[in-house]
Amino acid sequence: MNHPGVNHPGEPCPAFVKEMGEDVAKRVFIKTYGCQMNVYDSARMAELLAPFGFARTEAAAEADLIILNTCHIREKAAEKVYSELGQIRRLKTARARRGGAMTIAVGGCVAQAEGEELRRRAPFVDVVFGPQTYHRLPELLARAARAAGAGVVDTSFPAEPKFDSLPNRTSPSAVTAFLTVQEGCDKFCTFCVVPYTRGAEYSRPVAEVVAEARRLVAAGAREITLLGQNVNAYHGRDADGESRGLGDLVRRLAEIKGLDRIRYTTSHPRDVDDGLVAAHRDVPQLMPYLHLPVQSGSDRVLAAMNRRHSADDYRRIVERLRRARPDLALSSDFIVGFPGENEADFAATLALVAEIGFAQAFSFKYSRRPGTPAAALGQVPEAVKEERLAALQALLQRQQRQFNRACIGRVLPVLLDRPGRHPGQLVGRSPYLQSVHVSAAAERRGEIVATRITAAGQNSLSGTLALAEEPPGALPEAGAA
Ligand code: SF4
């Protein structure tokens, strides 16, 4: 259904064409903060603007349009955006002195949270838009051009599905690609802003995801990472009107010829269902690596976080997954110093980590997010948080080193996806998402090559081309330290 004020798929918005002029070469600089979902959104914004003559530039000073695609997850996220805008204002002023114009747009989760406040504090910003309204960007830019400095703010949660209003993906794809299948979250963990900035859970229909995946593969992608704030809550509508889970979606995508690898992120333990576990067992294209955030090993803290699972639930889920896929490598997120966390709670986190064994992980000190329930609770002193974070990271890093070292001497299939730092070198990904540096000719980029691992560091591996890869399922344990 067409919606007033929304560009129809693949069709330039008439108002935008009138205001901005079609086919006049212009440059857009997009700065992306945060997660892969923002990286995906930025790519879609660039595709949306391409029919209006916008080509991406890496030089902000040269741009006619600057877009900041912001993220709210880090501490003082909004302040960092205002500070960045201070620099951009200078570019806009310099351009105006030369008689030119520069349009500034701020999108993403900080824009969603700040809304009108952003225009109040930075009146030189022309457009403020949220993660759910970026498909209206051409229309918003046209309105801003007409508004002559008055600016436009659209941080609504529109009724029309955003993905229906985006053009089909046409830009050349990389060997690896992201594909958003789900957005928003209904879980309301007490530390997280996502349910407020991205809204309620929404899953794209199965056929739409499959069609986009086919286009990405036709453009050269061999690996696709399915994205969602809570991706395994996926429940997209199928052609028969029934809803399908992530496991079913993975099976459907695995039928696409030329799609060799499928990954997904980020997951919630509560949404690991039997269908997904079975997909890990049955679908060889589904890579044996899973990012499954646990946040804490203490049931008391998990309850305060409103995670709605216990540490034992997490253990049982991991056990089921490892039974289905014995070489599954795990990654996770941890928050230390959550309000009310005591020494015993923290010890429970260390114990869980030691027991499960992670191939890699992300760990952070708790920091307040204004507007979230946990922000109002009594805080753990900063020095205590730092001490706990150091202890946890030492353990996680030891596990990662052990996991990487256990790969030395093995032959792994590596998808070569980018040039290395040295001539004659390419970098790729192992099935376990490790970066692998390989001596190989540039034309082998895009191939999956059997690589004998010869060295391992904290964050990456090195290897040489081998004749054949080993059968899967025999990877050593992920360093249960
Ligand atoms: S499940 Fe993830 S996205 Fe949803 S509220 Fe919790 S941390 Fe945020």
Concatenating the DSSP letter of every residue in 24-43 gives: --EEEEEEE-SSHHHHHHHH
Residue at token pair 């009594």: 378
| Mean pLDDT score of the chain | 89
For 54-69, what is the mean pLDDT? Answer: 94
Q: Which of 71, 185, 186 to mutate to test the pocket of ligand 1 (most atoms within 8 A of CB)?
A: 185
User: For residues 269 and 260, what is the distance between their CA atoms, to the nearest angstrom?
Assistant: 26
What is the per-residue pLDDT for 8?
A: 42
Ligand 1 centroid–CA 1 distance in Å is 31
pLDDT above 70 covers a percentage of the chain that reads 90
| CB of 187 sitting under 6 A from ligand 1 | yes
Closest ligand 1 atom to residue 188 Cα is 5
Q: Which of 229, 231, 305 to mutate to test the pocket of ligand 1 (most atoms within 8 A of CB)?
A: 229
Closest ligand 1 atom to residue 306 Cα is 6
| CB of 230 sitting under 6 A from ligand 1 | yes
CA dihedral (45, 49, 55, 56) in degrees, to 10, reads -20
Q: Are 298 and 311 in contact (CB under 8 A)?
A: yes
Which tokens hold the place of 17?
């064409």
| CB of 195 sitting under 6 A from ligand 1 | yes
What is the per-residue pLDDT for 20?
A: 54
pLDDT above 90 covers a percentage of the chain that reads 72
Closest ligand 1 atom to residue 198 Cα is 3
Other Cβ atoms less than 10 A from the Cβ of 116: the count is 11
| CB of 331 sitting under 6 A from ligand 1 | no
Confidence of residue 5 (pLDDT cuts 50, 70, 90): very low
Residue at token pair 């998990």: 302
| CB of 131 sitting under 6 A from ligand 1 | no
What is the per-residue pLDDT for 472?
A: 54
Ligand 1 centroid–CA 79 distance in Å is 23
Comparing C-alpha atoms, which of 324, 226, 299, 315 is closest to residue 267?
A: 226
Confidence of residue 34 (pLDDT cuts 50, 70, 90): confident
Residue 249 predicted with pLDDT over 70: yes
Which tokens hold the place of 324?
């289905």
Confidence of residue 132 (pLDDT cuts 50, 70, 90): confident
Q: Are 182 and 228 in contact (CB under 8 A)?
A: yes
| CB of 448 sitting under 6 A from ligand 1 | no
What is the per-residue pLDDT for 198?
A: 85
Ligand 1 centroid–CA 412 distance in Å is 33
Ligand 1 centroid–CA 327 distance in Å is 27
- Mean pLDDT comparison of 97-101, 180-184, 234-238, 375-379, highest-scoring range: 234-238
Cis geometry, peptide bond prior to residue 266 (ω within 30 degrees of 0) = yes
Q: How many residues does the chain have?
A: 481
Closest ligand 1 atom to residue 295 Cα is 7
Per-residue DSSP letter, 378: P
Ligand 1 centroid–CA 232 distance in Å is 12
What is the per-residue pLDDT for 227?
A: 95
What is the per-residue pLDDT for 255?
A: 98
For 369-396, what is the mean pLDDT? Answer: 89
What is the per-residue pLDDT for 433?
A: 96
Residue 1 predicted with pLDDT over 60: no
Strands 329-336, 202-203: pairing is: unpaired
What is the per-residue pLDDT for 481?
A: 35
Handedness of CA 179, 177, 280, 188 (dihedral sign): negative
What is the per-residue pLDDT for 3?
A: 36
| CB of 194 sitting under 6 A from ligand 1 | yes
Residue 87 predicted with pLDDT over 90: yes
Please give the C-alpha separations between residue 176 and each of 207, 416, 421, 429, in angstroms, as whole numbers. 21, 10, 19, 10
Residue 175 predicted with pLDDT over 90: yes
- Confirm whether pTM is higher than 0.75: yes
Q: Chain-centre distance of CA 31, in angstroms? A: 15
With H, G, I as helix, E, B as strand and everything else as coil, classify residue 462. Answer: strand
E strand residue ranges, 346-458: 360-365, 411-419, 425-429, 435-439, 448-456
For 127-151, what is the mean pLDDT? Answer: 90
Ligand 1 centroid–CA 174 distance in Å is 29
Contacts for 291 with CB less than 8 Å, ≥ 6 apart: 265, 266, 267, 330, 331, 332, 333
User: For residues 182 and 231, what is the distance between their CA atoms, to the nearest angstrom?
Assistant: 6
- Mean pLDDT comparison of 79-88, 185-194, 314-323, highest-scoring range: 314-323
CA angle 107, 112, 113 (to 5 degrees): 130
Residue 476 predicted with pLDDT over 60: no
Q: Are 281 and 324 in contact (CB under 8 A)?
A: yes
Q: Which of 37, 189, 191 to mutate to test the pocket of ligand 1 (most atoms within 8 A of CB)?
A: 189
Ligand 1 centroid–CA 155 distance in Å is 20
Q: Are 283 and 254 in contact (CB under 8 A)?
A: yes
Residue 299 predicted with pLDDT over 80: yes
With H, G, I as helix, E, B as strand and everything else as coil, classify residue 61. Answer: helix
* Closest CA to ligand 1's atom 6: 189
For 265-291, what is the mean pLDDT? Answer: 97
For 227-236, what is the mean pLDDT? Answer: 96
User: For residues 328 and 280, what is the distance between their CA atoms, to the nearest angstrom?
Assistant: 9
Per-residue DSSP letter, 406: T
Residue 397 predicted with pLDDT over 90: yes
- Strands ordered across the beta sheet of 26-32: 54-56, 26-32, 65-70, 103-107, 127-129, 152-154
User: For residues 46 and 52, what is the distance between their CA atoms, to the nearest angstrom?
Assistant: 10
| CB of 188 sitting under 6 A from ligand 1 | yes
Mean pLDDT lowest among 189-193, 233-237, 394-398: 189-193
- The end-to-end CA distance of the chain, in Å, is 56
| CB of 190 sitting under 6 A from ligand 1 | no
CA angle 110, 116, 119 (to 5 degrees): 85
User: For residues 404 and 472, what is the distance between their CA atoms, to the nearest angstrom?
Assistant: 16
E strand residue ranges, 294-424: 329-336, 360-365, 411-419
Confidence of residue 469 (pLDDT cuts 50, 70, 90): low
Comparing C-alpha atoms, which of 201, 211, 278 is closest to residue 243?
A: 201
For 15-41, what is the mean pLDDT? Answer: 76
Q: Chain-centre distance of CA 471, in angstroms? A: 30
More confident call, 5 vs 123: 123
Ligand 1 centroid–CA 18 distance in Å is 41
> What would the pLDDT profile of 315-367 be if each residue is shown by its tens digit?
999 999 999 999 999 999 999 999 999 999 999 999 999 999 999 999 999 98
| CB of 197 sitting under 6 A from ligand 1 | no
* Closest CA to ligand 1's atom 8: 192
Q: Are 292 and 286 in contact (CB under 8 A)?
A: no
What is the per-residue pLDDT for 173?
A: 58
Closest ligand 1 atom to residue 229 Cα is 3
Residue 133 predicted with pLDDT over 70: yes
Residue 163 predicted with pLDDT over 90: no
| CB of 192 sitting under 6 A from ligand 1 | yes
Ligand 1 centroid–CA 185 distance in Å is 6
Residue 307 predicted with pLDDT over 70: yes
Confidence of residue 170 (pLDDT cuts 50, 70, 90): low
